[in-house]
Each structure stands twice: as C-alpha cells, then as structure tokens.
Amino acid sequence: MALADEILRRRTFAIISHPDAGKTTLTEKLLLYGGAIQLAGSVTSRKNQRSATSDWMELERQRGISVTSTVLQFDYAGYCLNLLDTPGHRDFSEDTYRVLTAVDSVVMVIDAGKGIEPQTRKLFEICRKRGIPIFTFMNKLDRPTRPPLELIDELESVLGIQSCPMNWPLGTGPDFKGVYSRHDRQAHFFQRSAHNASRASLKVKDLSDPAVRDELDDSTFSAVSGELELLEAATPAFNQSAVHHGQLTPVFFGSAMNNFGVQLLLDGFLANALPPQPRRAAAAPDPGERTANPVIGELFTVAPSDPGFSGFVFKIQANMDPRHRDRIAFVRVCSGRFEREMSVTIPRTGKRIRLNSSHKLFGRDRETVDEAFPGDIVGVVGHSDLAIGDTLTDATTKLLEFHELPRFAPEVFGYLHNDNTSQFKRFREGLDQLLQEGVVQVMSVVGSSMRVPLLGAIGPLQFDVVQYRLKSEYNAESRLELTSWSALRWLSGDLSLEQAVALTLPSGAKLVQDQNQRLAILFDSDWSIRYFTQKNPGVDLNTETG
C-alpha cells in the first residue's frame, strides 16, 4: 500500500478522564470490535480472573486502577487504530500528558452519574491548548445519572466547548432502554448480554414507530420527546470542521460495562476523526551547542507524507514482560516510513543507532513489526541511550526536533533510603530505570553532601509505584522519608549557579539542581513563594520546563 493510503487509514487516539469513569472498561470493549480480544476482560470481575488487557501491571490489577498508559494497536473496518488507555489519577497525570502529545484525537469519558470531574477538566484544557479533536462518551447509563440535558449543558458551561449529541438516551438507570441516533433517526435498544462480555445485540427501529413507543413508559416517552425537541432548537448542527478544530465535541451515550453504545461511538469516531496530522518541529542544534533553550530558529511543519522518517519518544517503560526484562521506548511515527532495522539519528546526542528490535504493541504483548507509518506507535527495544522527548530521524531527513514534552513541577518530595547496603546495586539500577521512565524526578540540594536520592512527584501514588516496582522488578527494599516541601519552581536558564546561590531564600526553601542540572528552588508554602518573589524582583519562577 502506498504511504499516503497507510496514513489515511490510521487513527491514533487516547482515552482520557477522571479516575473511574470507565476508560479501561471502554478500551476493552473497543478491542472486541477489532476482534483483537475474544472476550473482553471485566476490570473488576475477580470470579474468573479475567483481567483487562490494558491494565497489565501487577499493581494495577491489585488496586483496580490504571497506573500507566498502555498502547493497543488493532485493525477495524479497514482502519488501523492506535489506541492509548491513560491513567486518570492526578498523581499519574504526567504520563497522561505525554500521551496527549502523541495522539491526533481523544475520547473523553464522563461518568454520567457525576458529570465533569476535576481531572477531566484539567486534561480537557491540555487538549484544548493543543487543539486536539475531542469525542465525548457519557458512560454508565445503566445506573442513575444526572439529567442528560444538564450533562450536555455542563460541557458548555464548565468546559466551554460546544457539543452535538449524536445520540440520546431513552431513559437512564433502571429505566435505561437504549439510545436514539439523531442523524439517522433510529432507536437502538439496550439488551444486557451474558456476563456483559460479548457483543450486545441491537435491534434498530424508528422513534415514531409504535414499537418504540411500546418500549417506553409514558413519562420516559414524553421526557425524551421533549428533550429531543429542545436539542434541535438549542444545540448547534453537526459541523465536522468544528470537530476537527476542537471547537465542537460529538457526544455519545452508553454503558461501557454493558458494551452498549460502544459501536456507535466507534463508528461515529471513525467517520469524523482526523488521520495523522502534521507536527511542528525546529532545526536541531549541534549536540555540543545546546543551551537551556534548545529551540533554535523558526518552527516549521513536518507533514506525515514527508518521505523522510521522523518520530519521537514519548514514553519509556521497562519490565513490561517478566520474560524479557527489557526496556521499551514508545515512538510516535510522525513522517515517512519506519522500517524494522533502519538506522536513525538522535539529534540530542548526534548518535546514530541501528534499530534492531521494533515491535507493534498490544498492552504487555508485542509482535515484531517490519514497517510502520505515521500515526503508529512503535516499541523500540534495547537502546538505553534513548530518553523521553528524543526525536529520531533517518538519514534522508534534515536534522530536526519535536519539542513536545515539558516536565511538570513536582508537589511532593521525599528521600528514598536503601537501608540494606547489600541491595544497593539493585536499588540504584532500579531507581535509574524509573528515573529514565520519568515515574518521578530526582534532584540534589546545592551544597549538600547528602547521598540519599531526593525525589519529587506530582502525587504520592508515584512514590508507591517506585517502591513497589523496586521491590517487584529489582528485588530492592526502600524506605521513603517524606519532607515538608510542597512546590518546586525552576529558575530561568540564563541564571548562573553563582547568581542563584546569591538569591535571598525564605527559611525552609532550598536551591536544588534537577537531573539535567537545571536550577530550581524547593518551597514549603505559597507564602514562601510570595516572599521569594518580593525579595528577588526580576527572577522568574517556572512551573514547567522544556
């Protein structure tokens, strides 16, 4: 197939939301349609020990939450989908943000019983900044929900995005009878299937059909009719271009757990989502001439159809498969054709490496891939010099870099002790790996001779993951000593170490250097940050670093 055709059939998207809205459950059901898994695993069912394909990590299975994002690639109806299930918990949001740099659209899941929750709002804002098209799935219609019109209204009043309901619920909770598709005026009736695990069968009718009328009690019928009338008058007409620009979100209702409304979502998504999009890049400086601000010159556009290969690493994960115990760099292909054994340059180091082990990913499973195309996420194994944020280019592509991945300021800090010195080597090796994955950040206090690593995280669950993985993957015990610092602010790159040491710090604040030697200050309160700003006018404090 020609490069252009391969690009056209790709759809790369993430599923995002507040914790527990049903992302992993929806992911499982979407896989069913691709025939990618025989029987979708139920996230909570312990009875038959079937577990979700995308929550592969032991810790995720134990706690029933997603800790890390997962890539699943599968074919459906002639399309090649790269689906990324993300963790909803705020503590893992950096991983989710990185995923958002690698996709072309998102499906935002909302628990219809709760409406828009804080983490959904935050993730939505990131998507909006990036202009990513957003599709909305109102989930858990099998349970009592907020009034559907209120849910729609909230999209506009809380998120500020216009919405177009593609279908509409016929009752909710115990009275949930199905959904009505507005564009083709068809009713899809809800039927629970055995174990909620196989395809729910659908009967399709017309809403004016007496057969529909008979399914609904009087009050549901009149409520739905009224709501539909109101929608016609009050919501904008469907406009694909507005969807593509992230200004209008198509809304689908259903129940992921019961596999209801999932196919309508998938088909509506495929009919309206964009294929891989062009990306912005900058010329790469010589490795020896890098400064704190690596972006040089004007940004330019890299189109997927550009013949030269380019891509970037947005995630690193080790030990996904206990049988291999290796490290996978997740590469989003941006342009050209990716080939299994190709040689690529890493502009950050100037090094050329030959890729000898490249995989298509499906949760923790992998399969050797011979070629891949823009939009694909490829797992590259066995190159310890690849870091998160690295660009890869082939010899025919001019040296360029994608500057997609900022680091966020950690908000909890702790010293991680290794009390058992006989385990030190394993402890260090494990910690170095987790740092490369960006699970936590490490910093050192300027002028201190303390050897115990000082770690920073967005939230305390990240520390749990570090300690759990050190134990389970590296057999190293650790002890966390939390500190009272609660904020880190990076200083601007042009400040020298001498100048930074001379700054007036409030008591309790400390000057540190992060793993890239960038200077930052740790504070223990907002008050302390304000005090610093007053005492050091003209010194910028940054919550993100490039």
Ligand X SMILES: Nc1nc2c(ncn2[C@@H]2O[C@H](COP(=O)(O)OP(=O)(O)OP(=O)(O)O)[C@@H](O)[C@H]2O)c(=O)[nH]1
- Binding-site ranges for ligand X (CB under 6 A): 17, 19-25, 43-44, 65-66, 87-89, 139-140, 142-143, 255-258
Measured CA to CA, the distance from residue 5 to residue 216 in angstroms comes to 46
Cβ-closest position to ligand X: 88
> Who contacts 226 (Cβ-Cβ below 8 Å, separation ≥6)?
none
Residue 256's binding partner out of Mg ion, ligand X, none, with CB under 5 to 8 Å set by partner kind: ligand X
Using the minimum distance from each CB to ligand X, give the nearer residue, 190 or 532. 190
Q: How far is the CB of 163 from Mg ion (least distance, A)?
A: 24
Question: Dihedrals φ, ψ of 420, to 5°?
Answer: -95, 100
Residue 40's binding partner out of Mg ion, ligand X, none, with CB under 5 to 8 Å set by partner kind: none
Measured CA to CA, the distance from residue 83 to residue 360 in angstroms comes to 12
Residue 140's binding partner out of Mg ion, ligand X, none, with CB under 5 to 8 Å set by partner kind: ligand X
Residue 193's binding partner out of ligand X, Mg ion, none, with CB under 5 to 8 Å set by partner kind: none
Residue 128's binding partner out of ligand X, Mg ion, none, with CB under 5 to 8 Å set by partner kind: none
Residue 473's binding partner out of Mg ion, ligand X, none, with CB under 5 to 8 Å set by partner kind: none
Residue 43's binding partner out of ligand X, Mg ion, none, with CB under 5 to 8 Å set by partner kind: ligand X
Using the minimum distance from each CB to ligand X, give the nearer residue, 57 or 282. 57
228: Cα within 13 Å, side-chain hemisphere: 22
Q: How far is the CB of 16 from Mg ion (least distance, A)?
A: 10
> What track of x and - describes contact with Mg ion for positions 62 through 101 (by CB under 5 A)?
----x-----------------------------------
* 500-507: Cβ within 8 A, 24+ apart: 500/446, 501/446, 501/447, 503/532, 503/536, 503/539, 504/532, 504/535, 504/536, 505/532, 506/531, 506/532, 506/535
Measured CA to CA, the distance from residue 341 to residue 143 in angstroms comes to 51
77: left (phi over 0), alpha (psi -120 to 50) or beta: left
Nearest 5°: CA angle at 155, between 152 and 158?
130
Residue 24 contacts Mg ion per CB under 5 A:
yes
Using the minimum distance from each CB to ligand X, give the nearer residue, 122 or 290. 122
Using the minimum distance from each CB to ligand X, give the nearer residue, 175 or 371. 175
Q: How far is the CB of 65 from ligand X (least distance, A)?
A: 3
Q: How far is the CB of 63 from Mg ion (least distance, A)?
A: 10
Using the minimum distance from each CB to Mg ion, give the nearer residue, 74 or 427. 74
Residue 12's binding partner out of ligand X, Mg ion, none, with CB under 5 to 8 Å set by partner kind: none
> Who contacts 200 (Cβ-Cβ below 8 Å, separation ≥6)?
190, 191, 192, 193, 258, 259, 260
Using the minimum distance from each CB to ligand X, give the nearer residue, 19 or 506. 19
Using the minimum distance from each CB to ligand X, give the nearer residue, 67 or 431. 67
Q: How far is the CB of 455 from Mg ion (least distance, A)?
A: 25
Please name every residue paired with 162 in a beta bridge, in sequence order, or none if there are none. 248
Measured CA to CA, the distance from residue 424 to residue 538 in angstroms comes to 43
Using the minimum distance from each CB to Mg ion, give the nearer residue, 53 or 393. 53
Secondary structure (DSSP) of 152-175: HHHIIIII--EEEESEEEES-GGG
Using the minimum distance from each CB to Mg ion, give the nearer residue, 116 or 243. 116
Query: Based on C-alpha coordinates, what's the Rg of the chain?
Result: 25
Contacting Mg ion (CB under 5 A), which of 11, 23, 360, 510? 23
Using the minimum distance from each CB to Mg ion, give the nearer residue, 84 or 443. 84
- Cβ–Cβ < 8 Å for 420, 493: no
Residue 207's binding partner out of Mg ion, ligand X, none, with CB under 5 to 8 Å set by partner kind: none
What's the per-residue H, E or C state across 450-482?
CCCCEEEECCHHHHHHHHHHHHHHHCCCCEEEE
Using the minimum distance from each CB to Mg ion, give the nearer residue, 22 or 414. 22
Helix, strand, or coil (residue 105): strand
Using the minimum distance from each CB to ligand X, give the nearer residue, 69 or 345. 69
Among the residue ranges 58-66, 97-105, 154-162, 266-274, the one whose residues contact Mg ion (CB under 5 A): 58-66
Q: How far is the CB of 86 from ligand X (least distance, A)?
A: 7
* 8-state DSSP, 260: B
Q: How far is the CB of 117 from ligand X (least distance, A)?
A: 11
Residue 528's binding partner out of Mg ion, ligand X, none, with CB under 5 to 8 Å set by partner kind: none
Binding-site size for Mg ion (CB under 5 A) equals: 3
Residue 142's binding partner out of Mg ion, ligand X, none, with CB under 5 to 8 Å set by partner kind: ligand X
Using the minimum distance from each CB to ligand X, give the nearer residue, 66 or 528. 66
Q: How far is the CB of 15 from ligand X (least distance, A)?
A: 8
Among the residue ranges 23-31, 222-230, 276-284, 456-464, the one whose residues contact Mg ion (CB under 5 A): 23-31
460: Cα within 13 Å, side-chain hemisphere: 7
Secondary structure (DSSP) of 408-453: EPP-EEEEEE---GGGHHHHHHHHHHHHHTTSSEEEEETT----SP
Measured CA to CA, the distance from residue 79 to residue 516 in angstroms comes to 41
Q: How far is the CB of 88 from Mg ion (least distance, A)?
A: 6
Bridge-based pairing of strands 10-16 and 70-76 is unpaired
Measured CA to CA, the distance from residue 306 to residue 333 in angstroms comes to 12
Q: How far is the CB of 65 from Mg ion (least distance, A)?
A: 6
CA-CA-CA-CA torsion sign (396, 400, 404, 405): positive
Tokens of 272: 């309206």
Residue 21's binding partner out of Mg ion, ligand X, none, with CB under 5 to 8 Å set by partner kind: ligand X
Residue 188's binding partner out of Mg ion, ligand X, none, with CB under 5 to 8 Å set by partner kind: none
| H-only helix segments in 479-538 | 497-501, 526-535
Q: How far is the CB of 245 from ligand X (least distance, A)?
A: 27
Q: How far is the CB of 334 from ligand X (least distance, A)?
A: 27
Site for Mg ion, rule CB under 5 A: 23-24, 66
